[in-house]
């Protein structure tokens, strides 16, 4: 399932606070200065894609995600690593390391994760 960057922003709101009415999604995105009809269009697109569901609640609909954030992040990560680093994680880490973008905390976390993997 392909979700645009803008749709992903809408999904983030729903992942954090669902179920929400359209008006609540619009209010949550007010700082982005997006038009109300545009946000409603994204909600409808997400409905059509099966990423969210809408449930009638009186005179309004409440939206909730069907697509789990973890599944979406996993797919996005896999696609990025495949596209940019030929499916390999080591060049990704090397890229950030060479540019000094790994903090001491990042390095400690990477060491811990590698240690947990064992010698498999």
According to the model, what pLDDT value does residue 120 have? 58
pTM of the model: 0.82
Sign of CA dihedral 87, 90, 95, 96: positive
Q: What is the rounded distance in angstroms from the CA atom of residue 104 to the CA atom of residue 110?
A: 10
Alpha helices in the chain (DSSP H): 5-17, 22-28, 36-49, 69-85, 90-98, 104-117
> What value does the mean pLDDT of the chain take?
94
CATH class label, 5-65: mainly alpha
Phi, psi of 7 (to 5 degrees): -65, -35
Q: Look at residue 1 and tell me whether its pLDDT is greater than 90.
A: no
| Two structure tokens written together for 56 | 């009638």
**pLDDT tens for residues 20-41?**
999 999 999 999 999 999 999 9
SS3 label, residue 57: strand
- Axis-axis angle for helices 69-85, 90-98 (nearest 10): 80
According to the model, what pLDDT value does residue 119 have? 61
**pLDDT tens for residues 13-22?**
999 999 999 9
């Amino acid at each position: 399932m392909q979700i645009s960057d803008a749709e992903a922003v809408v999904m983030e709101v729903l992942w954090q606070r669902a179920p929400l009415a359209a008006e609540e999604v619009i209010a949550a995105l007010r700082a982005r200065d997006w038009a109300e009809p545009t946000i409603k269009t994204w909600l409808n697109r997400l409905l059509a894609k099966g990423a969210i569901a809408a449930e009638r609640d009186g005179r309004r609909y409440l939206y909730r995600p069907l697509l789990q954030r973890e599944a979406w992040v996993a797919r996005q990560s896999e696609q990025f690593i495949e596209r940019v680093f030929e499916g390999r994680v080591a060049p990704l880490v090397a890229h950030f390391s060479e540019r000094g973008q790994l903090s001491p905390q990042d390095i400690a976390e990477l060491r811990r994760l590698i240690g947990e993997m064992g010698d498999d």
